[in-house]
Amino acid sequence: MHELGITQNLLKLALQYAEPAGATKITGLYLVIGELSSVMDDSVQFYWDFVSRDTLAAGATLHFERVRATFECQECQTVFGRNEHYICPACGSRRVRIASGEEFYLKSIEVEE
């Protein structure tokens, strides 16, 4: 349920950018969220409808761009998806590192002027 706090942060950020631009309404938010950040789209959407009420962003559509978690092998450079052992499926090396999936940002907002 930490999505409530996250959604409140999201609203503040969007308003911070919309107000100085003279926007009369925010119609869309474009989010980039990595798999490792443990945030559920449905849950953010659910809270969004409540927290955005009576603001410039009321009724705005949330667009989620999900980024898959990937790991990169430090031995053979194979990039692979999350598995339960964090071991390279190509060469069996244990020397692997996170390559993507931690993204957690607001890319842009769509507004009416």
- Where do contacts with other proteins occur on this chain (CB under 8 A)? 1-2, 5-6, 8-10, 12-14, 16-18, 21, 23, 27-28, 31, 36-39, 69, 71, 84-86, 94, 96-98, 102, 104-113
Q: Which helix (H) or strand (E) element contains residue 99?
A: strand 96-100
Considering just the CA atoms, what is the radius of gyration of the chain in Å?
18
Whose Cβ is closer to other proteins: residue 46's or residue 105's? 105
Between the alpha carbon of residue 82 and those of residues 33, 96, 102, the distances in Å are 16, 11, 13
**Shortest separation between residue 104's beta carbon and other proteins, angstroms:** 6
